[in-house]
Amino acid sequence: MPSFRLIAGIAALFAAGAVLQWLHPLAQPASYHQFADTRTLGPVPSAADVLSSLAYLIPAAMNLGWAARHAGRAPLVLHGITVAGAGFLLTTAGSAYYHWAPSDATLAWDRLPMTVVFAGVLVMLASAATLKRATWPQALTAAAAAAATVWYWSALGSLWPYALLQFGGVACVVWCAARGRVPAAAAWWRVIGWYALSKVFELLDTPIWALTGHIVSGHTLKHLASAAAGVALCSVANRTLHIEGKRSNG
């Protein structure tokens, strides 16, 4: 059964999104779909962005592999890293699909699995911070609520719940790592660093394209950096498991 805090947090996310939309509407700008690198490779349009989406297979395999190897020990972050790994696996297809034909309709299928990744990371964070392993109902409820932020945008035209999930979630990770509220804070900082770098690359898509002489765009590098953030989740899981083991033995 999902906890009261989880349900309250989900309700607060959408309530805050509704209030913010009333105060300052946040819609998807049409210019979002205009990427710097539009080169084709054979039949593949925007080939660099489509093919670099395959990088998400790496954190998918590593996170799901970690979960499979350690499932018998039932570590704190087991359910969170499983959800994140599944999210990366789905993101591989969703991102490639979107970049094949960028539009609001295909963007929804890109964002949907990314919200599952965000949910998995937040479940990992909560488990590490409270030293209590999330249950499957809690982890799946978090993933479903995160995915619902994309439905909210598609149905109502408001990006606020999605934005709050993404950037509010990052703020929670930063706060917990900075305040020492989670074990393995250094590993969490690696996740934060790679994710922050991916957002910089995303914002500088065209300038990086020009600076590199049209070799690589910022958005392609964004895919690689965000995949690296997913790989770094395994370091978080390993360090948390190590500290968890030391405490149980102590």
* Other Cβ atoms closer than 10 A to 136: 11
- d(Cα 144, Cα 230) in Å, to the nearest integer? 20
Nearest to 69 by CA among 244, 234, 188, 209: 234
- pLDDT value for 30: 86
Q: Where are the domains of the chain?
A: 44-249
> Per CATH, the architecture of 44-249 is what?
Up-down Bundle (1.20)
The tens place of each residue's pLDDT in the chain, 250 residues long, gives 578 889 999 999 999 999 999 999 999 998 999 999 999 999 999 999 999 999 999 999 999 999 999 999 899 999 999 999 999 999 999 999 999 999 999 999 999 999 999 999 999 999 999 999 999 999 999 999 999 999 999 999 999 999 999 999 999 999 999 999 998 999 999 999 999 999 999 999 999 999 999 999 999 999 999 999 999 999 999 999 988 877 766 5
- d(Cα 248, Cα 172) in Å, to the nearest integer? 27
pTM to 2 decimal places? 0.96
- pLDDT value for 156: 95
* Residue 219 contacts residue 201 (beta carbons within 8 Å): yes
- pLDDT value for 244: 83
* Other Cβ atoms closer than 10 A to 151: 14
Give the CA diameter of the chain.
59
Sign of CA dihedral 8, 11, 14, 18: negative
